[in-house]
Amino acid sequence: MSISFFPTPYPDETFYSLLARYRSWSRISNLQAKIDLFGKRKRKLGLVLPGDLENLYSRLPADSTLSPQILIDNHTILPIFYPFIASSDRTKLQDVMVHKDSTCVSQHFAGMSNYISDYQRVCPICLEKDEECYGEPYLHRIHQLRGVVYCPDHKVSLLNTNIKNDHKSAYQCIAISKNVELVKSQFEIPKEYENTLCKVALTYNWLLNNQPEFVESKELIRRYRCLLQKCGLISVGGNLKFNNLTKEFKKKFPVSYLKECHYYDICNNSWFYIIIYPDNNIVNPLRHVLLMVFLDVIPQELFSSDFPNVQVFGFGPWLTTKKMDWGKRDKLLSDEIKKVAEEVKSQPGWPIRITKALLERRIGICLYDSNFISKLQLTQKTLDTVIEPIDIFRFRKIAYGVNLLKLDKKSSFSELLRKCRIGTDNPSPIVKMALMEALNAIKEVAISNEKETFNAPTN
């Protein structure tokens, strides 16, 4: 039996949050929500890697545009595994999520707690903004990933809610409220590591949203080794210098953070086996993300089909800039920024402002890192053209708002402000002028429509 309503997912919303909002909006019990959505009373809800999607899909309202594939790609964490698993395995895992239940799904991943944080987490700024934009808060996928301690959008520390990501929660659907109790994480991050850990969040976010093609583990190892060699971490004989690598790695990440990532065994050389032995088992993508950040390589380069065969690139504090193909990187980044800006602008629905933070989140690179960005002149130029100053963005909002306003000669200035979501607190003279022009245009069209109707022959 179909349900009569299902919430529209918000950007990056977790599947669990979606179910919890369904329950909260329907004002029904947890049990009833599970019966409505899956037809089963005793059902474990996957927190980040759910199952039974076909079953849910068959119950969605007829006009729903959601499909199991959309739910998997946009609302579960499966995409972080995509670049590390062969496409046949990817299809197998997707099939399990579509046709089998959540318990069966979790059997395919070793220890779910290695992938997600202990508590459901939020970014205090996202919480406020979501409330403002959508009228309710929700859980973001990126904030739940273990190893992500900063919000990639706002660069602020994530906060724990009082809801644990445990077995008990997996059977409940609890939506977060705007008054949710928020607790600071127990471990402190020294200031000097902030930049590094923001890069972890950005890299993970890029993987989650861009889903690069799978790179064979043998080839991936070759790429890692190229980068390690340039850092002086491969001996002349071609062996990995484990001790140096461990030492450098521990310098790059604070120990408290590695413990939080469940990687306190970092001293154990086996942690680095992913860069020596090809492995067909599912490796926690966090290992790869930490390695990428350690090697200062951006995911779009590591997974690029034209990663150099012999010549090595990648950069780090120990590398000189001569070794880096900055021209190539400059072109790659500049093109990607243009592409993202175009995509954002052509997206249907309410306009989204193109900001540095938005580009960083979509591209997965710290664009405020002056050491890095000062070497990329083309990228800098592109940034200057695509980043929207507030007034320019307001013009786009006006254009959108005008379409929403019913053509009416009585339309008022305040009505237009409301439709365009422009605050009444003194818009700049240029914006005021654009609003007045838009308003006059609406009135003129309304009047001419009226005349036409009046003059239309009556037969």
Amino acid at the residue 179 = N
Which residue in the set 123, 207, 291, 386 belongs to the binding site for Zn ion (CB under 5 A)? 123
Least distance to Zn ion from the beta carbon of 366, Å? 15
Cα 244 to Cα 196, 228, 233, 235, 249, distances in angstroms: 19, 11, 7, 11, 8
CA atoms within 13 A on the CB side of 221: 15
Which residue in the set 126, 173, 275, 289 belongs to the binding site for Zn ion (CB under 5 A)? 126
Least distance to Zn ion from the beta carbon of 135, Å? 18
Least distance to Zn ion from the beta carbon of 126, Å? 3
Q: Which residues sit opposite 408 in a β-bridge?
A: none
Least distance to Zn ion from the beta carbon of 123, Å? 3
Stretch that binds Zn ion, among 151-159, 267-275, 340-348, 392-400 (CB under 5 A): 151-159
Stretch that binds Zn ion, among 32-40, 113-121, 153-161, 363-371 (CB under 5 A): 153-161
Helix (H) or strand (E) holding 385: helix 377-386
Least distance to Zn ion from the beta carbon of 300, Å? 22
Stretch that binds Zn ion, among 42-50, 122-130, 201-209, 390-398 (CB under 5 A): 122-130
**Does 390 participate in binding Zn ion (rule CB under 5 A)?**
no
Nearer to Zn ion, 125 or 183 (CB): 125
Stretch that binds Zn ion, among 77-85, 98-106, 144-152, 450-458 (CB under 5 A): 144-152
Q: How many residues of this chain interact with Zn ion, rule: CB under 5 A?
A: 6
Residue 298's CB is within 10 A of a number of other CB atoms, namely 26
**Does 153 participate in binding Zn ion (rule CB under 5 A)?**
yes
**Does 11 participate in binding Zn ion (rule CB under 5 A)?**
no
Least distance to Zn ion from the beta carbon of 148, Å? 11
Which residue in the set 59, 99, 100, 154 belongs to the binding site for Zn ion (CB under 5 A)? 154
**Does 157 participate in binding Zn ion (rule CB under 5 A)?**
no
Phi, psi of 30 (to 5 degrees): -60, -40
Least distance to Zn ion from the beta carbon of 154, Å? 4
Structural contact between residues 444 and 416, judged by C-beta atoms closer than 8 angstroms: no
Least distance to Zn ion from the beta carbon of 140, Å? 8
CA separation for the pair 4, 64 (Å, rounded): 10
Least distance to Zn ion from the beta carbon of 73, Å? 21
Stretch that binds Zn ion, among 143-151, 215-223, 365-373, 391-399 (CB under 5 A): 143-151
Structural contact between residues 183 and 191, judged by C-beta atoms closer than 8 angstroms: no
Dig out the tokens for 98 from the structure: 């579509």
Show the binding pattern over residues 72-111: x = contacts Zn ion (CB under 5 A), - = does not. ----------------------------------------
Helix (H) or strand (E) holding 119: strand 119-122
CA separation for the pair 239, 429 (Å, rounded): 66
**Does 291 participate in binding Zn ion (rule CB under 5 A)?**
no
**Does 151 participate in binding Zn ion (rule CB under 5 A)?**
yes
**DSSP class of residue 231?**
T
Q: What is the dihedral of CA 308, 310, 311, 316, to 10 degrees?
A: 80
Print burial letters for 15-47: b (CB count within 10 Å at least 16), e (below 16).
bbbbbbbbbbebeeebeebbebbbeeeebbbbb
CA separation for the pair 190, 415 (Å, rounded): 48
**Does 125 participate in binding Zn ion (rule CB under 5 A)?**
yes
Distance from chain centroid for Cα 411: 39
**DSSP class of residue 240?**
B
Structural contact between residues 368 and 198, judged by C-beta atoms closer than 8 angstroms: no
Least distance to Zn ion from the beta carbon of 122, Å? 8
Nearer to Zn ion, 204 or 326 (CB): 204
Stretch that binds Zn ion, among 13-21, 125-133, 202-210, 340-348 (CB under 5 A): 125-133
Binding interface with Zn ion (CB under 5 A): 123, 125-126, 151, 153-154
